[in-house]
Structure 1
Amino acid sequence: MNSIFSPGITLAALIALVAISPSSSASRLPSEPADLIVLRVPCFSDQRHQFYVQLLRSSLDAVRQSAQIKCVYDLPGRRMWKMVGDGKLDLIWGVQTPDKDKGMVPIQVALTDGLVGQRVLLIRPEDQKVFDSVNSIQALRETELVAGFGEGWFDAKVWRTNGLPVYEFPHQFSLIYSMVSIGNRGVDYLPRGANEIVTEAQQHKRLIIEKHLLFYYDRDMRFYLSPHAAAYKPIVENALKAAEASGLKRRLIDRAFGSDIKALNLTQRRRIQLQVLD
């Protein structure tokens, strides 16, 4: 009887070859990189995305997950979130809120160990004497100074919850710094995260870091995936949890922000708690 197999190859041997074929889903060793994933993320000319993209990339690298991270530059805030919802961006980061958790796919790992919830003010130098006497939310209200935020930002809601006047800027946020420094554009100061304000003060020389105050609330940043990229949730979440457990995340925070946090002297500042409503 004619055989369909090549001479010298037994049926058992052929089965063994198929079992170790590269196309077999069982062939990948645990230590081998996983299939490439592509993540489109928002980035900014002022580089404020740098820590978040580095944390994402390093966490995926550490678990040998092949990833291509593609930057989409300088999008206004509302447009970024709409693009995530529409599947035109795959991943974004923002302060955790129940609304975001419902509308997007949350990666349930805090990104900055609470630094983002500690807000320091970027102000005009001549206004420092006004802030010298602020020791409460009520005292800040009485100054009638207006805080500036990007349109739709969580902090704008927090400031309003605490009865503080707010200006929401609908365009690229980098333009608002000059509006504050000019002094006649309806916005007086910028509450910024303790992890970002030192770099921003260096970039915008006509503004200074307020010397005495630290406003804080109990929230942190999370990564959010587009619903169209929901399949990536276990990959990204497991990578970030591994980075947290190994100390990688802490090292990246210290490398990115350690000297800035020290320079801000946070423990010596006048701490004022902000109320947060979901």
Structure 2
Amino acid sequence: MRLLWILCLWCGLAAAEPTAVRFPRSNGDGAQGDYGVALLQLALSKAGGHYRVDISPTHMQQNRALAELQSPRGSVDVVATMTSIEREAKMLPVRIPMTRGLIGWRIGLLRADRRELLKAVRGLDDLRQFTAGQGQDWPDTGILRHSGLPVQPVAIYQNLFGLLKADRYDWAPRSANEIWAEAARHPELAIDPYVVLRYPTADYFFVNRNNSALAEAIRRGLEAALADGSFEKLFYAYYGKQIRQARLDKRVLINLPNPLLPPQTPLSRRELWFTLDDLKRIP
């Protein structure tokens, strides 16, 4: 009888143990990295299961995190990153844009002594005279080049800023939700006040292609958060201030096509995407 009681107790404790979901600590941590963790925790809390998000103890370069995710014995279960046709072929996306497409709204990071560099830009042709710095494995590099914008690829994220300071390229287009924290960490750089690029794209949670159960749990939780308003509340808690600072409606808007955008992207679900009309909704 005592043995039976011990077995029942052990089974109860085992059942109560949450499922660990391993998430990489990205090099861009700060508001962006914290938001990814917070959104994943929100989704899993509403998915109907019992989960725990475990953050990797050290930072990971994006290319390493993606390799770990695709490996059968990888050290991560979920990665948050921008989508592309190639990435969706290799990994399983949860097609709900984490930052409502804000990652496709791009503002220039400049050397502080060249903050007026883009003042005369009125369209794409004007912008083609300037070379942009971008990560060599980022989909953005192909998107910019497709529109004839010169790009200098950078192998390591942290080097993006030092090479800009060293005048290896003219500017670094950064998303409206990333640029403010990056500029704060690099006071030798400045944020362009005149131009914004926009191309349709999304950053998703991706899982290994063999982990459809986790993908479904995240999708179910995100849909629940969208329905009860907690997704939008979290989004504006992290990015409302940055969006207001960006003054997107006061800039020269240059729209670019995205040849890397998968056809399954849910562009028809208007509630998933940030637009300039949403400026009136920011708390």
TM-score range, shorter chain: 0.7 to 0.9
Bigger Rg, structure 1 or 2: 1
1:212 aligns to 2:194 (yes or no): yes
Show the counterpart of 2:140.
155
Q: What secondary structure sits across from 1:131 in the alignment?
A: coil
- Identity of aligned pairs, percent? 24
1:69 has 2:48 as partner:
no
Q: CA deviation at 1:268?
A: 0.9
The CA deviation at 1:35 is 6.6
Deviations 1:105-132 (A, max 9, x none): 1112111122111111111123233311
Distance 1:271 1:34, change over 3 A: farther
2:43–2:219 contact (8 Å) kept in structure 1: no
Report the Cα offset of residue 36 of structure 1: 2.4
Q: CA deviation at 1:158?
A: 0.6
Q: How does 1:76-225 map to 2 (within 5 A)?
A: 76-87=61-72, 88=74, 89-142=76-129, 145-171=130-156, 173-183=157-167, 186-225=168-207
Q: Aligned AA for 1:162?
A: S
Q: How large is the RMSD of aligned CA atoms in angstroms?
A: 2.4
In the comparison of the two structures, how many residue pairs are matched?
Answer: 247
> Do 1:93 and 1:222's aligned partners in 2 also have CA atoms closer than 8 Å?
yes
Which runs of 5 or more structure 1 residues have no equivalent in the other structure? 1-5, 7-20, 25-32
Calculate the TM-score normalised by the size of structure 1. Answer: 0.81
Match in the other structure for 1:55: 39
Q: Which residue of 2 aligns with 1:241?
A: 223
Amino acid at match of 2:203: M
Give ranges in structure 2 of 5+ residues lacking alignment: 2-7, 261-283
CA drift of 1:269 comes to 0.9
Provide TM-score, normalisation by structure 2: 0.80
Bigger CA drift: 241-250 or 88-97? Answer: 88-97
**Corresponding position of 1:15:** none
In structure 2, how many angstroms separate the alpha carbons of the residues matched to 1:155 and 1:69?
A: 28
Residue 13 of structure 1 is matched in structure 2 by: none
CA distance in 2 between counterparts of 1:110 and 1:208 reads 28
Give, as a single letter, the amino acid of the residue that structure 1 aligns with 2:46: A
Matched position secondary structure for 1:74: strand
Retained in 1: the 8 A contact 2:46–2:220? no
